[in-house]
Amino acid sequence: MTPLVSVIVVGFDMVRELPRTVASLLAPYQIGMRPEDVQVIVADNGSAEPVRRDWFAPDADVTVLRIDDGGVSPCRAINRAAALATGELIAVVIDGARMASPGVMKAALEASRLHPDAFVTTLGFHLGPKVQQVSVTEGYDRDVEDRLLADIAWPSDGYRLFEICALGESYREGAFVAPPETTFFVLSRRRFEALGGFDEDFKALGGGYANYDFFERAVADAGAPLVMLIGEGTFHQLHYGATTQAGGIGRPAGEGEGSLGDVYGREYEAIRGHPYRRSTPQPLLVGRITHPMVRRLFFPPVAA
């Protein structure tokens, strides 16, 4: 049976995080979805301990694809996984540490029906009291995170993740303003291929601005609506990733290279021929209040 959507999940050294992420994308955790509706393709981008199929539910449609020549960027892994997709829709979770809220798949599929070229996106959150590049300097670690998840009895009610999270740095303006990227998106496989997938020229650690670049290309067509889901999102588990460890994008990149952000900016300009410039398309807001914390998180007060 052909799945409704093929979800690409990129992982690197995520023994702890990937099983939770994949489980959060599948029935029965995903409300209103059948097991056959979702195909998950886990792209293992050169993990020291290879991802094994037995980390995931045996009866789920999960394929593990090992990528040994992807480098430190996820772009090649995403594109190779996309080549295996059989669903008419493709979803990408560029960071395999990101658990999903339990209605994101159903909501994204419904939103995709608004327009054949719809680019359906979500906001991204960090587990913990603050963005993790800050909270890790204040005692937040994996043990603390595991206790938080136990305290909300995850996965029994996935919407309680909104009780233990903070808005990610890219999403600090909330849902009224288009973010520079998204940690989870759905669009037609046809449009993903027409866009050329992720640009494999982005080779910097973590992909650099590759996710920003894909977002910019996806929203460039004024006739293709940008849809922002309200009440659904992804939640970043701590794994000391490229931009979520102490210092974030501002941490030193290496001798004479400046910050990680400086490296990313130079690479983007070399590829695109101009500095990165953020677009500000008006998102179409679709969704519902799924938890009392949604109003504060999705519509934060505007700074004076």
Q: Is residue 116 part of a domain?
A: yes
Q: Is residue 300 part of a domain?
A: no
Question: Looking at the domain assignment, is residue 301 inside a domain?
Answer: no
Residue 111 structure tokens: 């939103």
Q: What is the CATH number of the domain that holds 9?
A: 3.90.550.10
Tokens of 25: 């994308």
The C-alpha atoms of residue 101 and residue 156 are separated, in whole angstroms, by 11
Q: How far apart are CA 107 and CA 93, in angstroms?
A: 16
Q: What is the pLDDT of residues 41-68, one digit of tens each?
A: 999 999 999 999 999 999 999 999 999 9
With 0-12 / 13-18 / 19 or more C-beta atoms within 10 angstroms meaning exposed / middle / buried, residue 37 is buried
If you write DSSP's letter for every residue of 58-90 in order, what string do you get?
A: TTS-EEEEE-SS-TT-SHHHHHHHHTT--SSEE
Residue 303 falls within a domain, yes or no?
no
pLDDT in tens, 240-264: 888 888 888 888 888 888 999 999 9
Kindly report, residue by residue over 77-95, the tens digit of the pLDDT. 999 999 999 999 999 999 9
- Residue 302 falls inside a structural domain: no
The answer to whether position 235 is within a domain reads yes
Contact 14, 96 (CB under 8 A): yes
User: Per residue in 64-73, pLDDT tens?
Assistant: 999 999 999 9
Domain that holds residue 152: 5-295
Cβ within 8 Å of residue 15, ≥6 positions away:
49, 55
Residues 56, 183: Cα–Cα separation, whole Å: 21
DSSP percent split of the chain into helix, strand, coil, nearest 5:
30, 20, 45
Residue 237 has pLDDT above 70, yes or no: yes
Position 304 scores a pLDDT of: 44
The whole-model pTM stands at 0.96
Number of domains in the chain: 1
Distances (CA, A) of 138 to 98, 129, 236, 239, 243: 22, 10, 17, 16, 17
Does 9 reside within a domain?
A: yes
What single DSSP character describes residue 118?
Answer: -
Residue at 165 is within a domain: yes
